[in-house]
Amino acid sequence: MASSLVLFALLRAAVATITVNDPSDTILPSDWADDNALLADYDIAFISTQPRDLATAYTFDDGSKLVQHKEYSTDENDTCVIVVSDGAHLTASHVDILKSGYSSNLNEASFYGFNAAINVANDSSATLEHVNITVHNGAANVYSYGTDTVVKLNHAWLYSSGPVSHGLYASGNGTIIGRNIKHFSGGTRSSAFSGDSPAGYVYVYDSVSHCAGVGSATYYALGTIYAENVISHSDNGPVVFSDGAQNATLVNCDATAGLLGGVAMFSSSVRLSGAKLKLKDSKITTLGETMPGLWFGNLIVDVDIDNSQINHTSGVLVSANYSQITQEFNHYADYTENSSLQPAEVTVKVVDSDLTGDLVAYNGSYISWTLKSYSSWTGTAYSGYGDASFDVALDKTSNWTLTESTTVQNLTDKDHTLSNIFSNGYTLYYNSSATKSRWLKGRTISLDGGGSAQPIST
Ligand SMILES: *[C@@H]1O[C@H](CO)[C@@H](O)[C@H](O)[C@H]1NC(C)=O
Ligand SMILES: *[C@@H]1O[C@H](CO)[C@@H](O)[C@H](O)[C@H]1NC(C)=O
Ligand SMILES: *[C@@H]1O[C@H](CO)[C@@H](O)[C@H](O)[C@H]1NC(C)=O
Ligand SMILES: *[C@@H]1O[C@H](CO)[C@@H](O)[C@H](O)[C@H]1NC(C)=O
Ligand SMILES: *[C@@H]1O[C@H](CO)[C@@H](O)[C@H](O)[C@H]1NC(C)=O
Ligand SMILES: *[C@@H]1O[C@H](CO)[C@@H](O)[C@H](O)[C@H]1NC(C)=O
Ligand SMILES: *[C@@H]1O[C@H](CO)[C@@H](O)[C@H](O)[C@H]1NC(C)=O
Ligand SMILES: *[C@@H]1O[C@H](CO)[C@@H](O)[C@H](O)[C@H]1NC(C)=O
Ligand SMILES: *[C@@H]1O[C@H](CO)[C@@H](O)[C@H](O)[C@H]1NC(C)=O
Ligand SMILES: *[C@@H]1O[C@H](CO)[C@@H](O)[C@H](O)[C@H]1NC(C)=O
Ligand SMILES: *[C@@H]1O[C@H](CO)[C@@H](O)[C@H](O)[C@H]1NC(C)=O
Ligand SMILES: *[C@@H]1O[C@H](CO)[C@@H](O)[C@H](O)[C@H]1NC(C)=O
C-alpha cells in the first residue's frame, strides 16, 4: 500500500502529479498492526453526562496558561494526557504529546473524550501551534466538548493507531478549527475530522489526511464539516460519512475514497431531512469497482456540485438507495438487516461541472437533477430496484448526452427545442402529466443523434 498521497492538479486537464507525504511515512502502520486490527465494542453501557473528573495526567483548569517546548505523555488506560476545563485557556506551542493506553469504554471515549490525548471541555479553549500529537491503542488526538468550547490548531502532526482514534473530534456542540495539519490514522472507525452527537463543528484548512482503517472517513459529519484546501485519502472509507441531518462543505479539496462510496450519507434510524453536501472546486475519486460517486440512504438531502469532478469506475454517479450502513461500516445493508428504512430523496444542483455516470434510485427513492451554468452530464437514470423517480432540469447553457433510453417525471429545459439533449439514438421518456413536463404538451420531439423525447405511453 503506497504510503503517500498523490495530488492531481485541480484543473480540468490534469497537468502535474505531485507526491504528498503523510505521517505514515514516518511511523509505519505495519509497526502497529495489532493496534490497527482492534475492533470497537459499542454494545456497552452509556453515561449521559461528561463527568467532571475526567482521568488525566495533566490538568489546566485555572485561567490562561502558556506552555512552550514541552513534552507530555501518559500510558494509562482511560486517561487523557491533558484536560483543559473550567473555562481555562491553554496556549501550547512546540509541544509534543504522546498517548498510549487503551479505552475500556468506547462510548465514553466517543461522546465525552475519555482517553483523548488532549480534551478541551466546557467553555474552555486552547490554541495549539506546532504540536506533535501521537497516540496508540485507540484515542482521539484532539477532543473538543461543550457549546462554547473552541480549539484552534495550527501546524499539527497527528498520528494514531488503534480503533476510534479520530484526529480532530468535536462533540457536545464543541468547535475545532485546524490549519496546516498532517494527519494519519491506522485503526478502524478512525476518521480524520469528526463530529459526534449531539453535534460538533469542525473546520479544516490547508491540510493533508490519510486514513487506513475500515470505516475511517476523511470527514465524519455530525454537526458541521467545512474543509478547504485539503488533500485526503481514505483507504477503507468514504470521503464523507454522515448520520442524520448534517452539513458538509468541501472547497478546493482533492479527496479519494476506497470503500462504500465517494460520500456515504444516511440516517441510522428514522429517516431525517435537511442534510446538506456542497462540493466546490473539488474532486472526489472512488477506487472500488462498484463504489458510487455519491451515495445516500434513508435520508432527504440537498447537494450542490460547483465546478467539481467526480471520478468513479462503477458507472454510478449518484445512488439514492433504500438502504443503511451498519456499525461495521463496511457494506450497504438492506431491509433484511435493518428494517428502519425509507426511500432516499436527493436533490442535486450542478453548476460549472462536467459529470459522467448514472443516477440510480432504489425502491421508491427519488433524484432531482438540475444542470446550470455550462454544465454537462453524460449518463442515464434508472431504477436499481422497484419504483424510482427522476426529475431532470437543464438551463440553456448546459447539456445532457444519453447513454441509454431514460424515463423521467419532470423534464425541464430552458432550451425549449431540446437542442442541448444528445440522444445517441436513445429515447427520453417523460411524464406528460408531471407538473413541470406539461409545457411539452405530450409532444414527441426529435433529438440530436436520431432519438426522440416522447411521453410515457399511457
Ligand atoms: C461540563 O459541564 C457539564 C454541565 O455543567 C457537567 O456535567 C460536566 O461534568 C462538565 N465537564 C467537565 C469536564 O467539567
Ligand atoms: C489496560 O488495558 C489493556 C487492554 O484492555 C489491559 O490488558 C490492561 O490490563 C489494562 N491495564 C490496566 C493497568 O488496567
Ligand atoms: C512526532 O512524535 C512521534 C512520537 O514521538 C515521532 O515518532 C515522530 O517522528 C514525530 N513527528 C515529527 C514530525 O517530528
Ligand atoms: C448542545 O446544544 C443543545 C442545543 O442547543 C443543548 O441542548 C445541549 O445542552 C448542548 N450540549 C452541551 C454539552 O453543551
Ligand atoms: C452548512 O455549512 C456551510 C459552511 O460551514 C454554511 O455556510 C451553511 O450555512 C450551512 N448550511 C446549513 C443549512 O446549516
Ligand atoms: C437498525 O438501526 C438502528 C439504528 O442504528 C438500530 O437502533 C436498530 O437496532 C437496527 N435494527 C436492526 C434490526 O438491526
Ligand atoms: C480517475 O481516477 C483514476 C484512479 O485514481 C485515475 O487513474 C484517473 O486518471 C482519474 N481520471 C481523471 C479524469 O482524473
Ligand atoms: C443499494 O443497497 C443495496 C442493499 O440494500 C446494495 O445491495 C446495493 O449494492 C446498493 N447499490 C448502490 C448502487 O448503492
Ligand atoms: C422495498 O420497500 C418495501 C417497503 O415499502 C419493503 O417492504 C421492501 O422490503 C423493500 N424491498 C427492498 C428490496 O428494499
Ligand atoms: C456540453 O456542455 C459542455 C459544458 O458547457 C461543453 O463543454 C460541451 O461542448 C457541450 N457539448 C456540446 C455537444 O455542445
Ligand atoms: C405521472 O405523473 C402523475 C402526476 O404526478 C402521476 O400521478 C403518475 O403516476 C405519473 N405516471 C408515471 C407513469 O410515472
Ligand atoms: C414534478 O415537480 C413538481 C414540482 O416540483 C412536484 O410537485 C412533483 O411531485 C414532481 N413529479 C411529478 C411526477 O409531478
Contact predicate 314/289, CB 8 Å: yes
CA distance 293 to 312: 6
Q: How confident is the model at residue 451 (pLDDT cuts 50, 70, 90)?
A: very high
Q: Tell me the pLDDT tens digit for each residue of 60-79.
A: 999 999 999 999 999 999 99
- Which residues are bridge partners to 227 per DSSP? 204, 250
Mean pLDDT, rounded, for 97-126: 96
Mean pLDDT, rounded, for 84-110: 96
The CA-based diameter of the chain, rounded to the nearest angstrom, is 77
Alpha carbon nearest to ligand 2 atom 12, residue: 77
Amino acid at position 13, single letter: A
What are the DSSP E strand ranges found in 188-238?
193-195, 200-211, 219-221, 223-234
Residue 8 has pLDDT above 80, yes or no: no
Q: Is the CB of 134 under 6 A from ligand 3?
A: yes
Minimum-distance ligand 8 atom for the alpha carbon of 335:
5
Mean pLDDT, rounded, for 292-304: 98
Q: In 3-state terms, what secondary structure has residue 115?
A: coil
CA distances from residue 111 to 140, 222, 411 in whole angstroms, order as listed: 11, 12, 46
* Cα 174 to ligand 4 centre (Å): 9
Residue 227 has pLDDT above 60, yes or no: yes
309: number of CA atoms within 13 Å, CB side? 17
CB-based contacts of 148, cutoff 8 Å, min separation 6? 123
* Cα 83 to ligand 1 centre (Å): 12
CB-based contacts of 183, cutoff 8 Å, min separation 6? 22, 23, 141, 158, 159, 167, 192, 193, 207, 208, 209, 210, 211
Q: Tell me the pLDDT tens digit for each residue of 239-257.
A: 999 999 999 999 999 999 9
Q: Is the CB of 431 under 6 A from ligand 11?
A: yes
Mean pLDDT, rounded, for 120-125: 96
| Strands 324-325 and 332-333, bridge-based pairing | antiparallel
Question: In whole angstroms, how large is the CA radius of gyration of the chain?
Answer: 24
Alpha carbon nearest to ligand 10 atom 2, residue: 376
Q: How confident is the model at residue 458 (pLDDT cuts 50, 70, 90)?
A: low
CA distance 109 to 49: 12
Q: How confident is the model at residue 117 (pLDDT cuts 50, 70, 90)?
A: very high
The rounded Cα 20 to chain-centroid distance in angstroms is 21
Domain boundaries, the chain: 20-52+135-456
Q: How confident is the model at residue 163 (pLDDT cuts 50, 70, 90)?
A: very high
* Cα 11 to ligand 10 centre (Å): 17
Q: Tell me the pLDDT tens digit for each residue of 140-153.
A: 999 999 999 999 99
CA distances from residue 177 to 85, 167, 381 in whole angstroms, order as listed: 18, 12, 39
Task: Report residue 444 as a C-alpha cell.
Answer: 414527441
* Cα 399 to ligand 10 centre (Å): 6
Q: How confident is the model at residue 4 (pLDDT cuts 50, 70, 90)?
A: low
Closest C-alpha among 457, 452, 432 to residue 442: 432
Q: Tell me the pLDDT tens digit for each residue of 178-223.
A: 999 999 999 999 999 999 999 999 999 999 999 999 999 999 999 9
Q: Is the CB of 335 under 6 A from ligand 9?
A: yes
CA distance 316 to 299: 18
Q: What is the overall mean pLDDT for the chain?
A: 95
Contact predicate 239/257, CB 8 Å: yes
